[in-house]
Amino acid sequence: MSGPFIFFLGGHDLEMVTVAELLREEGISFYDKGLRWGAKTSAYREEVEQCLAQGLTPVLVELTDDIRLDQKKVVILDPHGDKAGADKPTALHQVFAILK
């Protein structure tokens, strides 16, 4: 998956605040609605659809994809559930990896 990326932030906690600060510092577009933990992609449905229509790549950070997006057109960063573990990257680490 290649950019340009537009980030959509999930549950508002210290990690999401840090991700937002990083993106802001780097001048990278993102949406942050200050959602609660357990946030879903549908909270950003309109923005994600606009992003896709413009040929941009949505990056869903700790958002459950409840609108069944084409997995080939989005990047999902979520270190929870079966992706969790001490040896697994956090959402913040995954954002760093995308930004290189």
Per the CB < 8 A criterion, the answer to whether 90 and 80 are in contact is no
Q: What is the pLDDT of residues 31-56, one digit of tens each?
A: 999 999 889 999 999 999 999 999 99
For position 42, which CATH number holds?
3.40.50
Record the pTM.
0.86
Q: Which amino acid is at 23?
A: L
For residue 85, the model assigns a pLDDT of: 47
CA distance 83 to 19: 19
Give the range of the structural domain holding residue 45, as residue numbers without chain letter. Answer: 5-99
- Counting as low any pLDDT under 50, the low residues of the chain are 1, 84-85
Domains in the chain, number:
1
pLDDT for residue 84: 46
Residue 33's alpha-carbon distances to 17, 43, 64, 80, in angstroms, are 11, 8, 15, 20
Handedness of CA 88, 67, 32, 60 (dihedral sign): positive
